[in-house]
Amino acid sequence: MLSESEFWSQHRVAEGGCWLWTGRLDGDGYGLVDVDAGFPARAHRKAWEFRFGPIPTGKNVLHKCDHPACIRPSHLYLGTTVQNVMDMVNRGRVRSKLKTADIIAIRKDPRSKSAIAEHYGVSLTTIISIINRKTWAHVKDEQEPVPAPQYAPFSASRMSMKFID
Ligand SMILES: [Zn+2]
């Protein structure tokens, strides 16, 4: 079994201050470390346990830095899988670049949803959410009509007074 000091020595410092695992990686790019009886664990999880203690049930050790091989404790945090997806969205991988006028046009667009997605350079999910009004629900199909100006009612009596004078 690997000692803690041996564990921490297996990294190289990379851009952004990441400590990238120099041992073997799994198919998703996470570092792998052999722990008890040769059963491999993910290195970043082991890093968390060495530094902070046991990982609470139902929580995952996630990366702030988007480098699965990073084992630097300050780049790790506990969260749920759902949170991981949300964080990826918030970090700008799926940032919206659509404007209100685009939303109105997308909802009227007769093309297939995938063609619309390609046209605007966004995901199909984004287009479906817009059309189903799961997102951009505040945008109406048309701009609000400008109300006709209200004039004071025509006064016949005043006119006739004028002519009498
Ligand atoms: Zn990192």
Domain extents in the chain: 4-91, 96-131
CATH class for domain 4-91? alpha beta
Instruction: Kindly report, residue by residue over 71-129, the tens digit of the pLDDT.
Output: 999 999 998 877 666 776 666 554 457 888 889 999 999 999 989 988 888 888 889 99
Instruction: Kindly report, residue by residue over 29-86, the tens digit of the pLDDT.
Output: 999 998 766 678 999 999 999 999 999 988 899 999 989 999 999 999 998 877 666 7
Going from the Cα of 122 to the center of ligand 1, the distance in angstroms, rounded, reads 28
Q: For residues 40 and 42, what is the distance between their CA atoms, to the nearest angstrom?
A: 7
CB-based contact 14:20 (threshold 8 Å): yes
Going from the Cα of 137 to the center of ligand 1, the distance in angstroms, rounded, reads 37
Going from the Cα of 148 to the center of ligand 1, the distance in angstroms, rounded, reads 60
Q: What residue spans of the chain are helical by DSSP H? A: 4-9, 43-52, 81-88, 100-108, 113-120, 124-131, 156-164
Going from the Cα of 68 to the center of ligand 1, the distance in angstroms, rounded, reads 8
Going from the Cα of 35 to the center of ligand 1, the distance in angstroms, rounded, reads 22
Read off the amino acid at residue 83.
Answer: Q
Selection from 165, 162, 106, 164 nearest residue 130 by Cα: 106
